[in-house]
Structure 1
Amino acid sequence: MYPALGTLYPDSFMKFRYISCLLMVLIFAGCERNTETELSGEIQGTTYHVKMVMEQTDATPEQIRADVEAVFRRVDEKLSNWREDSEISRVNRQQTTEWISVSPEIVRLVTIAKDVNRSSAGCYDLTVKPLFDLWGFSRHENRVPEQHEIDQAVAHVGMTKLEVDAENGRIRKTDPELTIDLSSIAQGYTVGAVAERLESRGIHNYLAEIGGEMKVKGRKANGASWRVAIEKPKPMVREVQRILEIHQENGAAVMTSGTYRNFFESGGQSYSHILDPRTGSPVTHNLLSVTVLHDDPTVADAWSTALLCVGEIAGAEIAEAEGIKALFIYRDGEELKEHMSSRFLSPTEP
């Protein structure tokens, strides 16, 4: 599956999560005059953009910028697989089956990931790092490995080999060679952490976007709903597929995962960076992108990847069973088609 950008997700800021493959979720500005305070910047390999109504806060834009960048640094220190000195990198170097004390952030992400793993029949998996390294997606050194190499890597992959003790703040690997890659969920967590910081400053009407993933809450300064655009899943082009008008006053995360930007070709065949941890090989279905709406950006991030991994048919079934708001865009011959879950079509809160 699925690394992403920056030092959390190793790549340049123009390349969206899971190393540049990700479908870009664009902020839809329209033609109206902007009346919100806006901040944007580049930090640790990605970009961020915040639009906010600051009528009920004493904080200055400079203080908000410092808050946002402090969140990036804190998350990076704990969750980055790219940094050798991050907490998760230190955990990965510990080849032990003893319990390992970890930060609350890691406990929460692993707990969520295990739930999504079970509901996706094992297609969503944080322990997929050996496969991602093997296929060369980690360092842009792509190759098609031999089957015996894949088999060896798969032997050390599996969320059932990772235990979590949330009450005591610790995790345990039943396979000492197990390694954890949080990049398929860390960006959603970062979005949520930024949103929480805005709200702690008294800002309750905002759009917080990091690397194309976002959370919106409340309304724009003129009372209108926030609007975002979903990109058409075609390589080498940037076109809008659909405009979403977000009506959830209590806040909604908009997370999109895609297969169509990060791939390589070998022997006349294309290989996606989305790897099925059960087979050790790239997925071969026709699903190109999945957009998930959820009140929790971390959960939305995990589910957008999980549904993308299982494909358009199983993904639609799982979305219905789990009550997930999901938009699927898939290839049917030469056409692009959409499928929306029943919850996605519902006007109710996420």
Structure 2
Amino acid sequence: MKKLFIFLTTAVSIFLLAACSSNTDARNLLEQPIKKDATTMGTYIQVTVYDKGKEKAVEEALKIAEKYDDWISVDKAGSVIAEINDKAGLQPVKVNSDIYELIKLGYNYSAKNMGYDITIGPLSKLWNIGFPDARKPEQAEINAVLPLINHQFLEFDEQKSTVYLSQKGAKLDLGSIAKGYTAMKMVEYLKNNGVTTGIVDLGSSSIYVIGQSPRNGGDPWTIAIKDPNDPEKSQLGILKARDQHVNTSGIYERYLEVDGHRYSHILNPKTGFPFDNDIASITLLISGEDASNGDGLSTMIYALGTKKGYEYVQTLENVQAVFVDKDSKVYITEGLKDQFELTNDNYKMGKIDDLK
């Protein structure tokens, strides 16, 4: 029960504000939405739909999350990822098309060599941040697992639909990309089954808004970004979104404190230690249907730090970002000037050109 409590109280970076009102528009939507939830994938998941007669679609969307949890949980006996890890250096494992695609996306991110590696499993297990037995490993322990982290150990056979970790002891960890990808699959299912207006919320750190808010004929959805210095009680600002994905990574979501130092759960596959840069949190606003955008992208951008991360976002299509640094400065990319409002007096808007 303690493990569950940790997950439910840490992924609180973003949330929906007053999604509905008595002014429901003329699109034949419900005043009171269909709302169902589940606890799976190590977090609390909620699906909210305003279209009439979509109860079954909402139930089936939640089952998608439960299905992915069965497939990807590294600690769940019989999961696909556990089997791949157990057979590392021994033999390939046949996987279904969904898992094949997800692992391949993680591999493609890793191949950019920008601070993300899908084979970080041996290191994340060593630290185990977010779990009751989290600890700071000895340097010798870290040195022992670093050679096991290399996405090039992954071998794919598209014809046979197999995935193989060629190095014994190597381990996949999909925790940093699975939620956003699963949310996208849930949204895809809901849309294909006639849902035009709704919310898919995975742990509040990964939210998809479908269509427009039911307010006043179709206002944008209003999404609050939590204050990284006081995530339980305070918000930083608000984003306006239509048919978009909002994803946040931050140092406060899961961390370990040792001798007065806070270690983030976002680990550097090169050093073996959590990244220690100037970012307190990063929130991405993503448009389009690209399955590779989401959790993995925010993790990779986080690894770059504010200045380089901002510059990288500027090269991407359909992605905007809100960066919050440890000096309580907020930086937004150009496309968010009319979509973001800072609401917390403890923070100031910064100029990216002032950063070195």
Work out the CA distance in 1 between the residues paired with 2:60 and 2:20.
30
Partner in structure 2 of residue 42 of structure 1: 38
Spell out the pairing of 1:122-271 with structure 2 (5 A cutoff): 122-137=114-129, 139-212=131-204, 213-221=206-214, 222-235=217-230, 237-247=232-242, 251-271=243-263
CA separation of 1:200 and 1:322: change in aligned 2, threshold 3 A? closer
Partner in structure 2 of residue 116 of structure 1: 109
2:75 equivalent to 1:86: no
- Residues 199-246 of structure 1 show CA distances to partners (whole Å, capped at 9, x for unaligned) of 122112222112111111212334222111111111464211111111
CA separation of 1:167 and 1:317: change in aligned 2, threshold 3 A? farther
Partner in structure 1 of residue 315 of structure 2: 321
**TM-score normalised to structure 2 length:** 0.82
The root-mean-square deviation of aligned C-alpha atoms, in Å, is 2.6
CA separation of 1:143 and 1:91: change in aligned 2, threshold 3 A? same
Number of aligned pairs? 325
Q: Secondary structure at the match of 1:275?
A: coil
**TM-score normalised to structure 1 length:** 0.83
Of 62, 69, 79 in structure 2, the residue corresponding to residue 76 of structure 1 is 69
Deviation (angstroms), 1:287? 0.5
Identity value in percent = 25
Q: Secondary structure at the match of 1:303?
A: helix
- Residues 278-336 of structure 1 show CA distances to partners (whole Å, capped at 9, x for unaligned) of 1101111120111112234652121111112222222122222334322211112xxx1
Q: Secondary structure at the match of 2:7?
A: coil
Contact 1:50 1:208 (C-alpha < 8 Å) held by counterparts? yes
Work out the CA distance in 1 between the residues paired with 2:223 and 2:292.
19
CA separation of 1:344 and 1:163: change in aligned 2, threshold 3 A? farther
Q: Secondary structure at the match of 1:183?
A: coil
Spell out the pairing of 1:3-42 with structure 2 (5 A cutoff): 11-12=3-4, 15=7, 21-29=10-18, 32-33=21-22, 35-42=31-38
Partner in structure 2 of residue 304 of structure 1: 298
Of 51, 60, 66 in structure 1, the residue corresponding to residue 48 of structure 2 is 51
Work out the CA distance in 1 between the residues paired with 2:336 and 2:218.
23
Contact 1:214 1:253 (C-alpha < 8 Å) held by counterparts? yes
Work out the CA distance in 1 between the residues paired with 2:66 and 2:168.
29
> One-letter code of the match for 1:244?
L
Q: Secondary structure at the match of 2:294?
A: helix
Q: Secondary structure at the match of 2:75?
A: coil
CA separation of 1:85 and 1:147: change in aligned 2, threshold 3 A? same
Q: Secondary structure at the match of 1:285?
A: coil
Instruction: Please list every run of 5 or more consecutive structure 1 residues that lacks an aligned counterpart in the other structure.
Output: 1-5
